[in-house]
Amino acid sequence: MVKDTYESPLSARYASKEMKYIFSPDKKFRTWRKLWIALAESEKELGLPITQEQIDELKAHAEDINYEVAQEREKIVRHDVMSHVYAYGVQCPNAKGIIHLGATSCYVGDNTDIIIMTEGLKLIRNKLITVIRNLSKFADEYKALPTLAFTHFQPAQPTTVGKRATLWLQELLMDLEDVEYQLSKAKLLGSKGTTGTQASFLELFDGDHEKCKMLDRKIAEKMGYKACFPVSGQTYSRKLDSQFLNVLAGIAQSAAKFSNDIRLLQHLKEIEEPFEKNQIGSSAMAYKRNPMRSERIGSLSRYVMVDVLNGYFTTATQWFERTLDDSANKRLSVPEAFLAVDGILSLYANVADGLVVYPKVIEQRLRKELPFMATENIMMDAVKKRGADRQQLHEKIREHSMAASRVVKVEGGENDLLERIAADEAFGVTLEELEKILKPENYTGRAKEQTEDFLNECIKPVLEKYADVESDKPEINV
């Protein structure tokens, strides 16, 4: 490991080797050569004097890139694309005259960026599926376990642990829809020339406009795409980068919401993220079990949500057919967002797969609050069965609730609301009868049924569609 040079934490600590390769120099330069081969093949098919022997020579050296030659050449010409054209030509002397024929640098640069972002998003999609699969198992297992729900982080009507998980799942489904939509409209830049007019290709094809149009179609097909952008300047619209970043930032939002909920639940000691046998929670307090992975999800998610602004500003500041203030920015903002979300989803999958639930703690907290929530049922039961005066009982419940609340908040005692009601002759009910009314499952509404319906109607079709996506166990480095 190199100790005297800065290295991005996203590469060193968080992102998977698969995502790091997608954004690696090797992936980029191999894709450049594939694009040069596609260009040469298409130009040959459209009548330019390019031989099959030249194309075969290009294909023979598509993978064995002579990086040293390219690096030495770039020191002289200060141009990365032309340096690699030169290096490719050294390996392919018979074909060097037709490499990059009629194209500008953005032919390889921009088309490669689109291909890399598309492949990166496909990997993100697969990781989303893994998280959805893990969370759906959790939701199904705990679909009927009552828990105290919160609004404003104040006690509210009960829900179930599984129902709460469907809220996380639903946001992930929304993200998956955005991912699929973005992938569904994938287009290459194609080969548009210096200002997007295809002037160089029109000259190569002796003024044949149809062949210029066919060139784009052939390149797209050879690279596995359905189409190219119909018009462009020298580059594809940088709005495309913004759209990819928007999708990634949406995933970050969902992940951060989940991680915050887990952090709060871990504070309540109701649900914890996985904690390994030899893991240390605190250097000073040996007893601590900090939600470190959830905190890391939130931390990385914040970075991605802020990073999306780079795409907005870069798109907005492109002048006419192109300017170069996009290049340095997108070299940072786009790969780092993909690597960060890759790391986020690895953490998310890990946490979702190993959540630890403490039902007794959940029940204890719920039972402390249930007497307050059950007062409407108690009051209506007294009115219905004994003909009591609702208004009179309402005032008595208010008084008893205030007194019981004081015991809890001021004196630090237990909630004695039920005992107070049982001792009040106006209600005509025993403590045993009140305990029967206070079954937690009687207060969760349709939470269990909603969870079942959601898993069957919304999650199951998605998991069946992506049944071939393997749920690997992500390696968490720290």
Separation between Cα atoms, residue 151 and residue 156, nearest integer Å: 6
Is there a catalytic annotation at residue 282? yes
Task: Indicate which residue of 152, 232, 283, 471 is catalytic.
Answer: 152
pLDDT tens-place string over residues 63-83? 999 999 999 999 999 999 999
Residue 377: Cβ within 10 Å count? 14
Task: Kindly tell me if the per-residue pLDDT of 90 is higher than 80.
Answer: yes
Q: Which region among 292-306, 380-394, 415-429 has the lowest average model confidence (pLDDT)? A: 380-394
- E-strand spans in 201-242? none
Query: Is 451 within 8 Å of 444 (Cβ atoms)?
Result: no
pLDDT tens-place string over residues 199-254? 999 999 999 999 999 999 999 999 999 999 999 999 999 999 999 999 999 999 99
- Sketch the domain layout of the chain as residue ranges: 375-437
Task: At 149, list the tokens.
Answer: 């729900």
Is there a catalytic annotation at residue 152? yes
**Strands 159-160 and 146-147, how do they pair?**
antiparallel
Unique residue bearing structure tokens 């915050």: 260
Separation between Cα atoms, residue 434 and residue 439, nearest integer Å: 9
- Domain 375-437, CATH class in plain words: mainly alpha
Cα–Cα distances (Å) from 335 to 11, 240, 366, in that order, read 10, 14, 45
**Strands 159-160 and 154-155, how do they pair?**
unpaired
> Span 458-470, mean pLDDT?
95
Task: Indicate which residue of 79, 209, 282, 327 is catalytic.
Answer: 282
Greater model confidence, 288 or 189: 189
Where residue 305 falls (left for φ over 0; alpha for ψ -120 to 50; beta otherwise) is alpha
Task: Kindly tell me if the per-residue pLDDT of 464 is higher than 50.
Answer: yes
The model carries a pTM of 0.92
Measured in residues, the chain has a length of 478
Q: Which has the closest alpha carbon to 271: 123, 145, 175, 180? A: 145
pLDDT tens-place string over residues 251-295? 999 999 999 999 999 999 999 998 764 454 544 444 457 899 999
Greater model confidence, 418 or 261: 261
Q: Which region among 131-135, 147-151, 371-375 has the lowest average model confidence (pLDDT)? A: 371-375
Separation between Cα atoms, residue 303 and residue 293, nearest integer Å: 15
Radius of gyration of the chain measured on its C-alpha atoms: 31
pLDDT > 90 fraction of the chain, expressed in percent and rounded: 78
* pLDDT value at residue 273: 95
